[in-house]
Amino acid sequence: MKGKVYLVGAGPGDPELLTLKALRVLRCADAVLHDELVSAEILKLVPRTAAVQNVGKRCGRKSTPQDEINTMMITMAAAGFTVVRLKGGDPLIFGRVGEEIESLRRAHIEFEIIPGITAAAGAAAAAKIPLTDRRAASKIVLATGHRKFGRAAVGQISPDATLVLYMPGDDYDFVSAELQKSGLSPQTPCAIVSQASTDTQQVRRTTVRDLAVEVPLPAPALLIVGAVAATAVESAHQLHDEISLMNCWAQL
């Protein structure tokens, strides 16, 4: 009999943020192929009898080619194993799950996707920032700064949007300049969240302009940009004033 592959989201790092379904599947796994950023605390939940392999990708380090990961999943499942492909955050956001789904379908391997808490939600919760607010932010834009960041990646960002930039890198000066080219005021609040939901979590609040001089925080990090990231908002009136100010800057 063929086995099955589970494409599972591990969440931002805290094992208590795993879904119950993800936990159940992990405890029944014969093999776990995990990303680099999956926390050690989560890997401790895997049975000792399971084969566990790190197939993660990190910039500047030797990593497992995607084709090899696909072959491993297919081979193990074809041998009758329950395989968990464990990904940080949510498997459907800024991962290579599309390529993995395609390969599993071609090989006629049964698979299931188990969503997880994405880094955007984990980081926002850690920083106590609402990603939307009916007074200020009516939309969310998710983008990645890894390698291909630029105006083409984020487009024009309106003042009533929250931009969440995954993998902003450590060249904050460049990111600051590109955000301003994308239509954001230099006064737009933003927050850098590093290693969200873990014991080493750090949150730093700044503005798009002042981001340029910030000391980079350790990866994995995420940048939340928009009025919702203001350091302190005590009333809807204050928030409205911030939006009005950003609109004025955008028109200059």
Per-residue model confidence (pLDDT) at position 199: 94
Asked whether residue 26 falls in the same domain as residue 131, the answer is: no
CATH number at residue 60: 3.40.1010.10
Confidence band, pLDDT 50/70/90 cuts, at residue 159: confident
Q: Are 11 and 126 contained in the same domain?
A: no
Give the total number of structural domains in the chain.
Answer: 2
Q: Quick: pLDDT tens for 184-243.
A: 999 999 999 999 999 999 999 999 999 999 999 999 999 999 999 995 444 444 555 555
**221 and 108 in one domain?**
no
Residue pair 185/159 in contact by the 8 Å Cβ criterion: yes
- Confidence band of 150 (pLDDT split at 50, 70, 90): very low
List helix spans (H) across the chain. Answer: 20-27, 40-43, 66-78, 97-106, 119-127, 151-154, 172-181, 236-251
| pLDDT value of position 6 | 98
- CATH at residue 208: 3.30.950.10
Do 238 and 149 belong to one domain? yes
Q: Are residues 211 and 96 in the same domain?
A: no
Domain final residue pick, 65, 94, 114 = 114
Please identify, among 92, 114, 136, the residue that sits at the C-terminal boundary of a domain: 114
Give me the chain's average pLDDT, please: 89
Note whether 108 and 134 are same-domain residues.
Answer: no
For 63, the domain range is: 4-114
Q: Which pLDDT value is given to residue 15?
A: 96
Peptide bond into 220 cis (omega under 30): yes
- In this structure, the answer to whether residues 123 and 94 fall within a common structural domain is no
Say if residue 127 is in the same domain as residue 96.
no
Q: Which residues of 212-223 are buried (b: 16+ CB within 10 A; e: fewer)?
A: bebeebeebbbb
Q: Say if residue 134 is in the same domain as residue 236.
A: yes
Last residue of a domain, one of 81, 114, 147: 114
Question: Are 48 and 149 within one domain?
Answer: no
Residues acting as catalytic residues: 35, 57, 167
243 and 126 within one domain:
yes
**Percent of the chain scoring above 90 in pLDDT:** 78
On whether both 143 and 58 belong to a single domain, the answer is: no
Q: Are 36 and 54 in contact (CB under 8 A)?
A: yes
**Joined tokens for residue 92:** 């459907």
Q: Are 197 and 42 in contact (CB under 8 A)?
A: no
